[in-house]
Amino acid sequence: MVRDYSALFPDAANALPAHREPTALEALGWGSEFAQQVDAEELVNTPPARVVAVHRSGFLVKGDGIEETVPPGIDATVGDWLMLDRAKPKESRVLPRKSLIKRRAPGTDRRVQLIAANIDTAFVVTSCNMDFNVARLERYVALAFEADIEPVIVLTKVDLVDDPQPWIDTARNISGRVSVVALDARGIGSEKTLADWCKPGRTVAFLGSSGVGKSTLTNSLVGTSAITTQPIREDDAKGRHTTTHRELHVVPGRCIVLDTPGMRELQLTDAASGIADVFKDIEALAVQCRFGDCLHDTEPHCAVQAAIGDGSLDPARLARWRKLQAEDAFNSASLAERRSKDREFGKMVRTALKAKPSRKT
Ligand SMILES: Nc1nc2c(ncn2[C@@H]2O[C@H](COP(=O)(O)OP(=O)(O)OP(=O)(O)O)[C@@H](O)[C@H]2O)c(=O)[nH]1
Ligand SMILES: [Mg+2]
Ligand SMILES: [Zn+2]
């Protein structure tokens, strides 16, 4: 059988020619950045398939005429592209990612948890109510910067407040590099407001606490009301953790949407450059301090303290920067320690195995 592979090698990333419908793979987000990593032989033997959901039973993958579950055991996450080895699914190759969102796993486990791969835009969602929290937004934005993803802050539930402007202004102050939009997630206008980032073939993700409207927005973008949403609690405006797993929603001709469960806790790890990107204002001041190792505390000629003194820097923002940096340093160090312990353990096992007299068969 002669197959036409030309559609697997589009000219430009995510730029579909107007004259044709997207191929099945393009509808899933396939583009030249992935195509150029594989040769024709690999394509024939192991067709590409994207991880659209991760379940306990394995990875649900979709491709051109493919929809199946790959058993767990691959170091992949939702959004990843696998070159699907049908004979030995666990040996499927994970294509190098264009972006990767990760955090420190919640609880006492010090592992890294992969949240999503190959996301183009991260919509950091919060609402104009008690959920709104600057420190949390800074965390999410740092997470996106670290992952090389453009973050957009989305303020929902504007219909419930008289004037959303104070919320918008506070969100804008987080970083000059982040767009801020405010909307009623249930309205038809919400899709228009997000249209710039939601081109066909692009992959967008909704991140944020429970109850802020992530699934409501996902429904708007994919044009259904099929994804379950649930009213928040009246007393404290907290959500009910309605969405319980991460899933990519794919509708040909639209963007690909990752809906996620509300995160209870977002701990950063290996995110120093993402944090520095969010707090560029403080980083820029810090290089002007007289002492290279200035702690911006009581040192003379400290540009950071001077900025606090003249009112141009909010001391609360400095405190949040310090807290995030400390947390990231702690988590990164404990992960490094864990990794080296894992390595040592592996070495020990290998040495022990080698020392074992080989069994005669
Ligand atoms: N008035 C108003 N209600 C909204 C808006 N956005 C979401 N809601 C409502 O808020 C509730 C929670 O919305 P969901 O979309 O389920 O929230 P979620 O972020 O997906 O929550 P989890 O799945 O628990 O993480 C639902 O009752 C929505 O109808 C909005 O902009 N305005
Ligand atoms: Mg939800
Ligand atoms: Zn200083």
Portion of the chain with pLDDT greater than 90, in percent: 73
Q: How far is the CA of 243 from the centre of ligand 3 (A)?
A: 44
Q: Closest ligand to 284 CA?
A: 3
Q: Is the CB of 229 under 6 A from ligand 1?
A: yes
DSSP E strand stretches across 172-230: 179-182, 203-208
User: What does the pLDDT read at residue 342?
Assistant: 74
Could you give the CA distance from residue 24 to residue 47 in angstroms, rounded to a whole number? 12
- Residue 162, helix vs strand vs coil: coil
- Residue type at position 348: M
Q: Is the CB of 262 under 6 A from ligand 1?
A: yes
Q: How far is the CA of 260 from the centre of ligand 2 (A)?
A: 7
Q: Is the CB of 156 under 6 A from ligand 1?
A: yes
Structure tokens that stand for 355 in this block: 């020392």
Could you give the CA distance from residue 171 to residue 128 in angstroms, rounded to a whole number? 11
pLDDT digits (tens, 9 = 90+) for 208-225: 999 999 999 999 999 888
Q: Is the CB of 189 under 6 A from ligand 1?
A: no
Give the ligand 1 atom nearest the CA of 219. 15
Q: Is the CB of 228 under 6 A from ligand 1?
A: no
Q: Is the CB of 160 under 6 A from ligand 1?
A: yes
User: Residue 259: what are its φ and ψ, rounded to 5°?
Assistant: -95, 140
Structure tokens that stand for 17 in this block: 């020619």
Helix axis angle, 315-355 to 134-146, nearest 10° = 50
CB atoms within 10 A of CB 324: 21
Q: What is the pTM of this model?
A: 0.89
Whose Cα sits closest to atom 1 in ligand 1?
157
* Residue 104 C-beta-side C-alpha neighbours within 13 Å: 23
Could you give the CA distance from residue 245 to residue 213 in angstroms, rounded to a whole number? 15
Q: Is the pLDDT of residue 12 over 60?
A: no
User: What does the pLDDT read at residue 358?
Assistant: 47
Q: How far is the CA of 104 from the centre of ligand 3 (A)?
A: 29
Q: How far is the CA of 207 from the centre of ligand 2 (A)?
A: 10
Q: How far is the CA of 10 from the centre of ligand 1 (A)?
A: 37
Q: Is the CB of 348 under 6 A from ligand 1?
A: no
User: What does the pLDDT read at residue 177?
Assistant: 93
Q: Is the CB of 157 under 6 A from ligand 1?
A: yes
**CB within 8 Å of 57: residues ≥ 6 apart:** 69, 71, 72
Q: How far is the CA of 178 from the centre of ligand 2 (A)?
A: 23
**In the chain, alpha helices (H):** 24-27, 32-35, 40-45, 134-146, 165-172, 189-193, 214-222, 272-278, 280-286, 303-309, 315-355
Q: How far is the CA of 21 from the centre of ligand 1 (A)?
A: 33
Structure tokens that stand for 292 in this block: 């290279």
Quick one: 41 exposed, middle or buried, by C-beta within 10 A (0-12, 13-18, 19+)?
A: exposed
pLDDT digits (tens, 9 = 90+) for 71-126: 999 999 999 999 999 999 999 999 999 999 999 888 777 788 999 999 999 999 99
pLDDT digits (tens, 9 = 90+) for 183-201: 999 988 999 999 999 999 9
